[in-house]
């Protein structure tokens, strides 16, 4: 009687393949969002639940993509830094950037400081803050009972 050869388990799927959630890359645009050829300054910025401001600055360096958003009266004239990974889509006809976070999530992010925004510790904190709240696109739970607004 022949002894069957041991079976090798199939390789584990990489994140984002075969329906799994894609990994969150805070400082890179999603594959389907590539606004690097466009000047986004002046575009409206819409959170999942409403308007938050206008793009004041856009950085398109490799692995260092982000928007600085002037929130106007919404957060008493403060600016917020949004890593490119939170951008869901850009509508160039409407000159609008849509992000996949709620206004409360954005308001609760680590505070933006123009003088220290490039500090690695701040960048890690901000990337971690938004990364902890990341779920696969299309799985947002907007119910007020959800602590992070996600499933």
Q: The CATH number of the domain where 82 resides is what? A: 2.30.30.240
Local structure of 87: helix, strand or coil: strand
CA–CA distance, 101 with 104 (Å, rounded to integer): 8
What's the order of all strands across the beta sheet hosting 64-70?
A: 79-83, 64-70, 50-61, 44-47, 96-99, 87-91
* Number of domains observed in the structure of the chain: 1
Q: Is residue 118 part of a domain?
A: yes
Q: What pLDDT digit, counting tens, does each position of 70-85 carry?
A: 998 877 778 999 999 9
Q: Give the pLDDT score at 106.
A: 92
Q: Is residue 15 part of a domain?
A: no
The overall pTM is greater than 0.75: no
Q: Going by C-beta distance under 8 Å and a sequence separation of 6 or more, which residues neighbour residue 141?
A: 149, 150, 151
CA–CA distance, 105 with 48 (Å, rounded to integer): 10
Q: Greater confidence, 134 or 68?
A: 68
Element (H, E) at 65: strand 64-70
CA–CA distance, 16 with 70 (Å, rounded to integer): 33
Q: Is residue 126 part of a domain?
A: yes
Instruction: Supply the range of the domain harboring residue 68.
Output: 35-132
Q: Is residue 29 part of a domain?
A: no
Q: Give the pLDDT score at 134.
A: 54
């Amino acid at each position: 009687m022949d002894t069957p050869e041991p079976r090798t388990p199939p390789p584990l799927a990489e994140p984002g393949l075969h329906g799994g959630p894609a990994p969150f890359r805070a400082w890179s645009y999603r594959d389907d969002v590539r606004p690097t050829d466009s000047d986004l300054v002046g575009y409206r910025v819409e959170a999942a639940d409403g308007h938050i401001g206008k793009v004041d600055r856009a950085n398109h360096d490799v692995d260092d993509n982000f928007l600085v958003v002037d929130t106007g009266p919404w957060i008493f004239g403060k600016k917020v830094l949004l890593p490119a990974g939170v951008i869901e889509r850009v509508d160039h006809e409407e000159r609008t950037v849509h992000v996949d976070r709620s206004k409360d999530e954005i308001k609760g992010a680590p505070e933006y400081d123009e003088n220290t925004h490039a500090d690695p510790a701040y960048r890690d904190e901000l990337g971690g803050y938004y990364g902890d709240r990341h779920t696969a696109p299309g799985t947002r739970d907007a119910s007020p009972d959800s602590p992070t607004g996600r499933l």
